Amino acid sequence: MSETAGRGSASRLHDQLDHIGELLRRVRGLGQLPEPDGDEGFREAQARLQALLDALHPADIATILEALPLVDRLAVWQRVKADRDGEILLEVSDAVRESLIADMDEREILAAVEPLDADELADLVEDLPTEVLPELMASLDAQQRERVQAALSYPEDQVGALMDFEMVTIREDISLETVLRYLRRFDELPAQTDKLFVVNHDNLLTGVLPLHWLLVNSPDRPVSEVMAPDVNTFHPEDDAYETAQAFERYDLVTAPVVDGSGHLIGRITIDAMVDVLREESESEALSRGGLREEEDVFASVWKSIRNRWAWLAINLVTAFIASRVIGLFEGSIQHLVALAALMPIVAGIGGNSGNQTITMIVRALALDQITPASARRLWRKEIAVALINGVVWGSVIGVVAWLLYDNFWLGAVMTAAMTLNLVLAAFCGVGIPLLMMRLGRDPALGSSVLITAMTDSGGFFIFLGLATLFLM
């Protein structure tokens, strides 16, 4: 049912995107007519566009902004109500956020970020123009300024940069009835509040009190009897991705953040952790394709070129190497033209098998499932899988080649080449991520480019070399 709901939501969002695009074109077309302000159709189109934007959730507007070309994106952005700007800036990707902020003046930027909490401000500060920062920090009260500075003092991949300071704390020596009376004084609880944090007089965390325990226990019982003393706690220096994995593993909604002495300094919430997991997944996908950073799909030509050129240059070198491998066997190809038709099959199947292996290994590394002791076992297992696949599918394509070209030995060479190239793909599929990790680099960085280079050059050399030895 959730999958159906998800598809329905995506479909509605796509329909809204089409509708917004149609209204933008209508407004733009009517606006070019003489005296558009007096034209009823122009005013009606503007009103419908504004009403549609006002009804959308900030996250939906963010998705729509990312899906629009720059001119249309800015046209929609200018029609978003100012009190929603900050929420939307938090939702859009970094690349799109840059284009939106560039279209705002200092007054608009300050008005957009003013309603945000300290942890949300910390997310945006690095993207704001430097000339805005002094006035922004001066507009904050002492507590907010201290919290923003605390969040900014940690790298963006650590828990400290993501922690939330809005939370409810209670003492362990009070009754549940007192807690209930205390909670009724709030107009609303902080978002994602599933538990209360129990501290002593020195602000040391002593436990947590889940809200449902508060409701099902007698009001006369003290907090110390009901609370859970053994809780999942994190430190501001903890890795954000590892923390997100812990949230997934233990089904957490919120968790306390404590300093080295155990003092409660903040909390981490599920929405921040979902963002971390999504960003890690997107980063891994970009890295596999050799992209240096997240790219606005509607970015300028020059920005896209700068983002993509490095690994394209590497790919050019590897493609040249593959072409020289083929050049070594020009005589063999001229003697038996069938080799030219068959060698892309060997390279293509090897590349696909290598990408399957490398995807699995990169995922296992991200989940800390591979140790030095298990690496050799993985290598043996993947080579065994490749060997069996090579023999089975190599035999299939070998029989096909034999029947097509009426040459048994050509089919045998095809089978052997396919098997050896799949073994090479398995060896490299495990070895490349492990080597990248040992060098302190992202295991996914350019993995797709590197494995393709290895299986192309290796596949051509193996196939054409065997053909030269046994068929010439």
> Tens digits of per-residue pLDDT, 362-380?
888 877 788 777 888 888 9
Query: Residue 210 has what pLDDT?
Result: 95
pLDDT computed for residue 34 by the predictor: 52
Q: Is residue 132 part of a domain?
A: yes
pLDDT of 424 strictly over 60: yes
Mean pLDDT to the nearest integer, 19-43: 69
pLDDT category of residue 4 using cuts at 50, 70 and 90: very low
The widest CA-to-CA distance across the chain, in whole angstroms, is 94
In a domain, residue 163? The reply is: no
pLDDT tens digit string along 49-58?
889 999 999 9
Residue 296 lies in a domain: no
Judge contact between 111 and 85, C-beta under 8 A.
Answer: yes
Long-range contacts for 107-116 (Cβ within 8 Å, ≥24 apart)? Answer: 108/82, 110/135, 110/136, 110/139, 111/82, 111/85, 112/82, 112/85, 112/86, 113/86, 113/89, 114/86, 114/139, 115/83, 115/86, 116/86, 116/90
Mean pLDDT of 418-430: 93
Domain containing residue 312: CATH number = 1.10.357.20
Residue 6 pLDDT level (bands cut at 50, 70, 90): very low
- The residue assigned the tokens 């840059």 is 98
| Listed range (91-105, 147-161, 262-276, 313-327) with the worst mean pLDDT | 313-327
**Domain co-membership, 148 together with 23:** yes
**Domain co-membership, 270 together with 327:** no
- Give the C-alpha separation, 150 to 132, whole Å: 19
**Burial per residue of 195-215, b for 16 or more beta-carbon CB atoms within 10 angstroms, e otherwise:** bbbbbeeeeebbbbbbeebbe
Residue 268: band (very low, low, confident or very high) from pLDDT cuts 50, 70, 90: very high
Beta-carbon contacts of residue 399 (< 8 Å; ≥ 6 apart): 411
Same domain as 200, residue 264: yes
Residue 49's domain is classified under what CATH number? 1.25.60.10
Query: Which is it for strands 264-269 and 195-199: parallel, antiparallel or unpaired?
Result: unpaired
Per the structure, the complete domain to which residue 87 belongs is given by: 8-157
Question: Quick check: 297 pLDDT over 80?
Answer: no
Q: Is residue 294 part of a domain?
A: no
Kindly tell me if the per-residue pLDDT of 294 is higher than 70: no
Over residues 21-31, the mean pLDDT reads: 77
Residues 269 and 413 in one domain: no
Q: Which two tokens stand for residue 79?
A: 């029609």
Q: Is the domain of 276 the same as that of 306?
A: no
Q: Give the pLDDT band (50/70/90) at residue 136.
A: confident
Mean pLDDT of 103-119: 88
- 220-239: per-residue pLDDT in tens? 999 999 999 888 999 999 99
SS3 per residue for the chain: CHHHHHHHHHHHHHHHHHHHHHHHHHHHHHHCCCCHHHCHHHHHHHHHHHHHHHHCCHHHHHHHHHCCCHHHHHHHHHHCCHHHHHHHHHHCCHHHHHHHHHCCCHHHHHHHHCCCCHHHHHHHHCCCCCCCHHHHHHHCCHHHHHHHHHHHCCCCCEHHHCCECCCCEEECCCEHHHHHHHHCCCCCCCCCCCEEEEECCCCEEEEEEEHHHHHHCCCCCEHHHHCECCCCCECCCCEHHHHHHHHHHHCCCEEEEECCCCEEEEEEEHHHHHHHHHHHHHHHHHHHCCCCCCCCCCCCHHHHHHHHHHHHHHHHHHHHHHHHHHHCCHHHHHHCCHHHHHHHHHHHHHHHHHHHHHHHHHHHHHCCCCCHHHHHHHHHHHHHHHHHHHHHHHHHHHHHHHHHHCCHHHHHHHHHHHHHHHHHHHHHHHHHHHHHHHCCCCCCCCHHHHHHHHHHHHHHHHHHHHHHHHHC
User: Is there a single domain that holds both residue 453 and residue 319?
Assistant: yes
Q: Are residues 45 and 145 in the same domain?
A: yes
Q: What is the CATH number of the domain that holds 225?
A: 3.10.580.10
Residues 55 and 149 in one domain: yes
86 and 52, same domain (yes or no): yes
Query: Would you say residue 402 has pLDDT above 80?
Result: yes
Mean pLDDT of the chain: 86
Domain shared by 90 and 152, yes or no: yes
Interval 229-258 mean pLDDT: 93
Domain boundary among 241, 256, 289: 289
pLDDT digits (tens, 9 = 90+) for 448-458: 788 888 999 99
Per the structure, how many domains does the chain have? 3
> Mean per-residue pLDDT for 163-185?
94
Position 371 scores a pLDDT of 79
Higher pLDDT, 399 or 42: 399
C-alpha span between 165 and 335 (Å, rounded)? 74
Comparison of pLDDT for 288 and 305, the residue scoring more:
305
Half-sphere exposure of 52 (CA within 13 A, CB side): 21
pLDDT for res 290: 62
Q: Could you tell me the pLDDT band of residue 423, with boundaries at 50, 70 and 90?
A: very high
Question: How sure is the predictor about 293, in pLDDT bands with cuts at 50, 70 and 90?
Answer: low
Nearest to 44 by CA among 30, 61, 55: 30
Q: Are residues 362 and 231 in the same domain?
A: no
Question: What is the pLDDT confidence band of residue 7, given thresholds at 50, 70 and 90?
Answer: very low
* Structure confidence at residue 223 (pLDDT): 95
Question: What is the pLDDT at residue 152?
Answer: 85
Residues 128 and 173 in one domain: no
List all residues 6 or more positions away from 64 whose beta carbon is below 8 Å from its beta carbon: 13, 16, 17, 20, 56, 76
CB atoms within 10 A of CB 244: 24
Least confidently predicted of 131-140, 414-423, 440-449: 440-449
Please give the order of strands across the beta sheet that includes 205-210. Answer: 169-171, 195-199, 205-210
Residue predicted with more confidence, 23 or 182: 182
pLDDT, residue 288, reads: 65
> What pLDDT is stored for residue 441 in this prediction?
80
pLDDT at 150: 85
